[in-house]
Amino acid sequence: MTRAEWCDLGAMPYQACFRLQQSVAAEVAEGRRPHTLLVVEHSPVLTLGASFHEENLLLSPDRYRELGIEVCRTDRGGDVTYHGPGQLVAYPIFHLDLVGRDLHAWLRSLEEALIRMLATLGVGARRFPPHTGVWVGDRKIAAIGVKVRKWVSYHGIALNCNNDLGPFGLIVPCGIRDYGVTSVAQETRRDLSPSDLLPAYLGAMAEVFSLEWRPAPANRLPSPHDPA
């Protein structure tokens, strides 16, 4: 078994959490911290990944701001996606020695944990190559995007739980046209929140990666800043 820590940050703005991830990743890379999973809910935000294309924003930045949706550039892979309350957002800041420094294996394993978790709810989820993420039929239920630095991965997954799916209609999610999005609430007809689903997610991650979890208090995390 591999020791790992998890911390529920509650609600946190995207940019502050982004800086915190970078600080945690630096400590993991230096061997000063074990694999660490940060769990969070963000206020409405569109994040623009390294492969972002302007045409996938269907409105102007000013209009998004008028709607109360922040727009942030970030360094993860992928295009544009939406985060908001009611999503289970989890950032596994793990050293990829865990999967033999194989990025493909890392992404497929992140998908596998979500697929196994959703199966416990009676939701038949799947992969949909060549698109990274987890799908129910032709509707995306979870987005995945990561950044790897010094063989440590940060960023991670966003699972639609009981969030409003309307904002996805204001973008081309992940740059993928012609396919829709869905949520756990929509698929199960149960109002399941991120906190309801977190235990099952931790269990699936432990199973896929052979982890022994322990909780990490937020006050033991480093101060969020951009490491040199």
Q: Report domain extents, the chain.
A: 2-220
Annotated active-site residue in 7, 17, 161, 174? 174
Using the structure block, give the residue that is written with the tokens 């993928």: 176
Backbone phi and psi for residue 36, each to the nearest 5 degrees, phi listed first: -135, 130
Under the banding of pLDDT at 50, 70 and 90, the label for residue 227 is: very low
Check if 174 is active-site.
Answer: yes
Tokens of 106: 């890392």
Does the structural domain 2-220 have CATH classification 3.30.930.10? yes
HEC secondary structure over 181-198:
ECCHHHHHCCCCCHHHHH
Note the pLDDT tens digit of each residue in 144-197: 999 999 999 999 999 999 999 999 999 999 998 889 999 999 999 999 999 999
Q: Exposed/middle/buried for 68, CB within 10 Å: 0-12, 13-18, 19+?
A: exposed
Q: Say if CB 124 and CB 138 are below 8 A apart.
A: no
Q: Say if CB 4 and CB 212 are below 8 A apart.
A: yes
The pTM score is: 0.95
Note the pLDDT tens digit of each residue in 136-150: 999 999 999 999 999
- pLDDT of the residue at 200: 98
